[in-house]
């Protein structure tokens, strides 16, 4: 029989003597005095048999005893009425089958007059890296196959399509989606001009596959238009922003990717849509992001309760309320919702179901764990946030995650009808659950509590991050030497576009490490920058005035600029006991298509043959260098008479 450890879930697989058995209630929470229903879920993995079912209430009193016959391989649902206790509280009923305890199932009794329902939103992070090569061909198909492939058969197609169908099927199920800009971009490319895969296969606009992508996108658009969902924007490529700002100093890269990602979101969801929330990829947060987000009209984001809220500083109370996060350095602010790490991980990782009955029982338990927050009066808003597709496609039994999700939504709708919670969106929570407390610091961290997944778990990580850092420094050197703003000319835009793609965190994730993809994009940036920086060089350097110990000589330096714009750089001359005057460190300006020469005075402090190095610098990066052999003679005093 099955080993329960092979199916990690909140409620483990329960098979005894070939009979799988669970118990659920009609809903996880009842009003005082309401009539309840009990469902006993049976699946027979063995031969035909008689089954004796008994149910004990929370006091151990038997309230059900029934015999039933079940055939070989048959599934059966037994339904019984249940009297609901008359007091608020948590109650546990016990299922006994053939004199063996098989399940203990809890339900809640509430008096909704005692408190308001708490706001609840699920934030589904639908994301794909920009999985195209620089030539535009698709190297990894997940943005598309997670729409049209039958991953979830017989319940649905791919997770992106299935989520959109759930929204249509359950219009009262409000939730929040991050449709990552690089995912949306790939959908738009297909719909506008078709796509070609690296294996030569081509999908045209108007094909069955393209129509499914269009249907999926339209389902999200329609849900957005009726305020059923909130659609977040994000950084264009799924990069670890807090790492980029704090380790690599790439504030400008993050800033421009946020802007570009926002543009893609607006285009995909409709030109009048203005996203107010942002998904921080991998929840890789830094306080340096507050100013960037605020400057782009972003009002709120989601972070982690364990790795962000726990160590945050300021006026802290419950994690189950929104907080205003103020950057003391800039006085700018955003609102932060902290996700419930435990509940999010249940959906994210405890999702391996053996049968429909097992999935149903787990959906009930998940809904119950959410409903229990009703008893905690500090819970004003509950945020559950996780990948929208990976929990489904990486599960041991993919289709049953769709069955589980449908059952979970049904239970959540019942909890809303009963006044336990209010299904919501982040935007609605932002507007209707006022932020009352201010935080002044949230530490740089991720949902994992470390950056090692992207820098450290793979021995090669450091080598590639150093290459990234070098390329970025060369890019900044080009922009500095030509006085070009970031993305201010075609070369800067092109190099940055390549760099964005090389930085996508999915390519750096240890288990999916893809150095070949990183290098394909980084190599394009390097080739471009090699060409640009090679056009600015030291053509000649020579000694113009002899060098003597303690005296002042001169070096003639000729720099040529083959770029199509002025170049601004600094010359530095160095060697053993060789000194330049500070006045000579001022930048030189070389007109486009011309050369510049300067006689630079230097002082020599010793005698002998030396190598003097002339260095051309920009933004602390060495553009070129030239070595001159020189002889320093002794300095003789004048004749006494």
Mean pLDDT of the chain: 96
Mean pLDDT, residues 234-254 taken together: 98
CATH numeric code, 118-441: 3.20.110.20
Query: At 176, phi and psi to the nearest 5?
Result: -125, 140
Domain covering 4-112, topology = Immunoglobulin-like (2.60.40)
Residue 276 in this model has a pLDDT that exceeds 80:
yes
Task: Dump pLDDT digits (tens) for 170-202.
Answer: 999 999 999 999 999 999 999 999 999 999 999
User: CB-based burial of residue 6 (10 Å sphere; 0-12 exposed, 13-18 middle, 19+ buried)?
Assistant: exposed
Mean pLDDT, residues 448-473 taken together: 98
Residue 583 in this model has a pLDDT that exceeds 90:
no
Domain covering 536-633, topology = Immunoglobulin-like (2.60.40)
CB-CB neighbours of 328 under 10 Å = 10
d(CA 589, CA 559): 10
Task: Dump pLDDT digits (tens) for 305-364.
Answer: 999 999 999 999 999 999 999 999 999 999 999 999 999 999 999 999 999 999 999 999
For residues 161 and 110, the answer to whether their CB atoms sit within 8 Å is: no
Mean pLDDT, residues 553-562 taken together: 96
DSSP state of 114: G
Residue 401 in this model has a pLDDT that exceeds 90:
yes
Residue 273 in this model has a pLDDT that exceeds 70:
yes
pLDDT of the residue at 586: 79
Residue 584: which pLDDT band, with cuts at 50, 70 and 90?
A: low
d(CA 613, CA 210): 60
Residue 619 in this model has a pLDDT that exceeds 90:
no
Strands 608-618 and 588-590 come out as unpaired
3-state SS, residue 181 = helix
Residue 580: which pLDDT band, with cuts at 50, 70 and 90?
A: confident
Residue 629 in this model has a pLDDT that exceeds 80:
yes
Mean pLDDT, residues 451-468 taken together: 98
Instruction: State pTM to two decimals.
Output: 0.94
Residue 271: which pLDDT band, with cuts at 50, 70 and 90?
A: confident
Residue 23 in this model has a pLDDT that exceeds 80:
yes
Task: Dump pLDDT digits (tens) for 567-576.
Answer: 999 999 999 9
Task: Dump pLDDT digits (tens) for 42-85.
Answer: 999 999 999 999 999 999 999 999 999 999 999 999 999 999 99
Q: Cα–Cα–Cα angle for 362, 363, 366, nearest 5°?
A: 85
Residue 379 in this model has a pLDDT that exceeds 90:
yes
Distances (CA, A) of 331 to 260, 311, 336, 440: 25, 20, 16, 10
pLDDT of the residue at 5: 83
Mean pLDDT, residues 365-390 taken together: 97
Task: Dump pLDDT digits (tens) for 127-143.
Answer: 999 999 999 999 999 99
Residue 2: which pLDDT band, with cuts at 50, 70 and 90?
A: confident
pLDDT of the residue at 387: 97
Mean pLDDT, residues 579-593 taken together: 83
Residue 581: which pLDDT band, with cuts at 50, 70 and 90?
A: confident
Mean pLDDT, residues 483-509 taken together: 97
């Amino acid at each position: 029989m099955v080993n329960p450890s092979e199916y990690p879930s909140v409620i483990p697989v329960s098979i005894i003597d070939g009979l799988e058995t669970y118990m659920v209630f009609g809903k996880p929470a009842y009003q005082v005095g309401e009539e309840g229903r009990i469902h006993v879920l049976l699946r027979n993995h063995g031969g035909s048999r008689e089954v004796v079912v008994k149910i004990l209430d929370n006091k151990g009193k038997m309230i059900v005893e029934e015999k039933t016959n079940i055939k070989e391989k048959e599934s059966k649902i037994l339904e019984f009425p249940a009297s609901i206790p008359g007091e608020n509280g948590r109650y546990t009923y016990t299922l006994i089958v053939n004199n063996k305890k098989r399940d203990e199932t809890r339900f809640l009794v509430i008096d909704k007059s005692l408190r308001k329902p708490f706001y609840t939103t699920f934030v589904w992070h639908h994301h794909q890296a920009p999985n195209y090569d620089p030539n535009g061909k698709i190297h990894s198909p997940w943005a598309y196959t997670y729409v049209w492939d039958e991953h979830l058969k017989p319940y649905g197609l791919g997770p992106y399509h299935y989520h959109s169908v759930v929204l249509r099927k359950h219009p009262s199920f409000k939730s929040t989606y991050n449709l990552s800009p690089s995912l949306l971009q790939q959908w738009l490319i297909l719909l506008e001009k078709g796509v070609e895969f690296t294996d030569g296969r081509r999908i045209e606009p108007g094909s069955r596959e393209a129509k499914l992508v269009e249907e999926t996108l339209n389902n999200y658009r329609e849900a957005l238009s009726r305020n059923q969902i909130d659609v977040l924007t994000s950084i264009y490529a799924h990069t670890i922003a807090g790492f980029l700002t704090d380790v690599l100093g790439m504030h400008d890269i993050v800033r421009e990717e946020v802007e570009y990602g926002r543009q893609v979101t607006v285009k995909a969801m409709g030109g009048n849509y203005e996203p107010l929330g942002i998904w921080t990829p991998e929840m890789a947060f830094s306080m340096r992001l507050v100013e960037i987000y605020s400057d782009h009209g972003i009002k709120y984001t989601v972070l982690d309760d364990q790795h962000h809220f726990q160590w945050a500083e300021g006026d802290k109370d419950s994690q189950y309320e929104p907080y205003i996060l103020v950057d003391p350095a800039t006085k700018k602010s955003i609102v932060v919702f902290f996700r419930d790490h435990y509940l999010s991980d249940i959906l994210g990782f405890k999702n391996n179901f053996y049968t429909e009955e097992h999935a149903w029982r787990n959906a009930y338990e998940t809904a119950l764990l959410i409903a229990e927050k009703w008893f905690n009066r500090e819970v004003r808003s509950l945020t559950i946030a996780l990948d929208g597709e990976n929990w489904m496609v990486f599960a041991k039994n993919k289709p049953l995650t769709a069955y589980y999700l449908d059952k979970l939504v049904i239970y959540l709708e019942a909890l809303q009808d009963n006044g336990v919670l209010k299904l919501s969106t982040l935007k609605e929570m932002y507007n209707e659950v006022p932020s009352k407390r201010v935080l002044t610091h949230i530490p740089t961290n991720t949902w994992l509590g470390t950056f090692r997944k992207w820098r450290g778990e793979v021995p090669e990580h450091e080598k590639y991050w150093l290459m990234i850092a070098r390329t970025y420094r060369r890019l900044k050197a080009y922009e500095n030497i030509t006085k070009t703003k970031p993305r201010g000319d075609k070369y800067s835009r092109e190099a940055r576009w390549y760099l964005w793609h090389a930085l996508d965190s999915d390519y750096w994730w240890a288990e999916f490490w893809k150095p070949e993809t990183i290098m394909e994009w980084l190599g394009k940036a390097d080739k471009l920058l090699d060409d640009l920086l090679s056009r600015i060089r030291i053509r000649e350097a020579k000694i113009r005035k002899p060098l003597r110990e303690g005296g002042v000589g001169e070096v003639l330096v000729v720099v040529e600029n083959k770029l199509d714009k002025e170049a601004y750089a600094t010359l530095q001359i160095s060697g053993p006991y060789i000194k330049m005057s500070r006045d000579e460190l001022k930048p030189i300006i070389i007109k486009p298509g011309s050369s510049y020469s300067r006689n630079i005075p230097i002082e020599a402090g010793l005698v002998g043959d030396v190598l003097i190095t002339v260095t051309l610098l920009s933004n602390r990066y060495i553009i070129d260098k030239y070595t001159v052999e020189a002889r320093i003679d002794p300095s003789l005093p004048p004749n006494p008479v």
